[in-house]
Structure 1
Amino acid sequence: MIKFFKSVNETMAKVSWPSWKQNRRDTGVVITSSILFAAYLGLLDLLFSYLVQLFL
């Protein structure tokens, strides 16, 4: 078990972590993309529900 945790520590030391600036930018991109994609799907849902009600 100790060998496992030593290995984990060695691996974590090799990881290159992003800077706070890069992390904030990437988080903003993910949030913005998620909102835009949700709006797109919402509009498609409204369109299809309108079409279904129109033809039924």
Structure 2
Amino acid sequence: MIKFFKDVSREMQKVSWPKGNELSKYTVIVILTVLFVSIFFTVIDLGITQILELL
């Protein structure tokens, strides 16, 4: 178990973390993508619901 955490610590030092500006851009992209997908599926769901109510 101790070896595992030492290995994890060693690997985490190799990670290239995004800078503040990059992190902000990535955050905005993720939020916009989630909003787009949620709106898309809401519209699809409402459309399917309307079609089923007509039948």
TM-score by length of 1: 0.83
1:1-56 per-position Cα deviation (integer Å, ceiling 9, x unaligned): 2x33332222111111110110111011011000011001000111110000001x
Aligned residues: 54
Give the percent of matched residue pairs that are identical in Structure 1 and Structure 2.
31
Match of 1:20 in 2: 20
Over the aligned positions, Cα root-mean-square deviation in angstroms equals: 1.1
Match of 1:11 in 2: 11
Matched, 1:29 2:29: yes
The unaligned stretches of length 5 or more in structure 1 are none
TM-score by length of 2: 0.85
Displaced runs of 4 or more, over 6 A: none
Distance in 2 between the 1:27 and 1:35 partners? 12
1:45 partner letter? D
The unaligned stretches of length 5 or more in structure 2 are none
